[in-house]
Amino acid sequence: MTAALALGDDALVLSHRLGEWAGHAPVLEEEVALANIALDLLGQARILLSLAGDEDELAYLREERAFRNVQLVEQPNGDFAHTIARQLYFSVHQHGLYEQLAAGNGEFAGLAAKAVKEVAYHRDHAEQWTLRLGDGTAESHARMQHGVDALWRYTGELFQPVEGVDVDWQALHSRWLDSLTTVLERATLTVPTGPQTGAWTAGAGRQGIHTEPFGRMVAEMQHLHRSHPGASW
């Protein structure tokens, strides 16, 4: 229950953020790519939230404080490099997590085995762009480094154990750091050295404490359903 909510909310919230690029992406091809990733995540969220209860009620009728997603995924899109940095941090993590879940025989093994192929593509997409932006022009390099630096303090929460998710969190973290370091160095970027959490962020998203932009996002995500309860087409 706790676990399905945590993983489901991660997917739902990131899906919504990526959906915000529709109509705004720098090129049409990239808009479709981001929308495809958003739809993959939405599919994962639907399965996970259905394990925890009624998917629509959970997505559209919970208050901000009842969401259990990590703070990383609720961070605003920023510029394209900022979004790619968020994708890189999250998709490398999610790939490692789902690989471990798929290899086990717990509640999430089946869904993880299917989703891990989607997530591998999300990861590849983020890595390809990190390499090109980091090792691109002076402008793209600076923007990519800024995105990587700005979101670093939200990455620690990814590796705080979630009750009911039976994986080796320490191994997950060290493999994530190895992968990240390889990609960032190849992209001529600097791996941030600051702490991966501020004292005030520790475990916060998983306990329902969210950052300021999240309230606006939830309001936008829920307003249609709340204005027209039960509407369909």
Could you tell me the smallest distance in angstroms from the CB atom of residue 228 to other proteins? 30
Q: Is 139 exposed, middle or buried (0-12, 13-18, 19+ CB in 10 A)?
A: exposed
Could you tell me the smallest distance in angstroms from the CB atom of residue 22 to other proteins? 13
186 makes contact with other proteins (CB under 8 A): no
Among 117, 132, 186, 226, interactor with other proteins by CB under 8 A: 132
Among 57, 124, 168, 178, interactor with other proteins by CB under 8 A: 124
Query: Which of these ranges, 25-33, 166-174, 203-211, 219-227, lies near other proteins under the rule CB under 8 A?
Result: 25-33
* Calpha distance 233→5 (Å, rounded): 27
117 makes contact with other proteins (CB under 8 A): no
Query: Which of these ranges, 21-29, 151-159, 167-175, 203-211, lies near other proteins under the rule CB under 8 A?
Result: 21-29
Considering beta carbons, is residue 129 or 176 the nearer one to other proteins?
129
Three-class DSSP category at 1 = coil
**Given its phi and psi angles, is residue 76 left (phi above 0), alpha (psi -120 to 50 degrees) or beta?**
beta
Considering beta carbons, is residue 23 or 230 the nearer one to other proteins?
23
Tell me phi and psi for residue 70, to 5 degrees: -70, 155
* Calpha distance 45→8 (Å, rounded): 4
* Calpha distance 229→233 (Å, rounded): 13
Task: Note the residue count of the chain.
Answer: 233
Query: Which of these ranges, 27-35, 55-63, 181-189, 222-230, lies near other proteins under the rule CB under 8 A?
Result: 27-35
36 makes contact with other proteins (CB under 8 A): yes
Alpha helices in 20-137 (DSSP H): 28-52, 55-61, 71-74, 80-103, 109-134
Among 5, 11, 14, 33, interactor with other proteins by CB under 8 A: 33
Q: Which residues bind other proteins (CB under 8 A)?
A: 26-30, 32-33, 36, 124-125, 128, 132
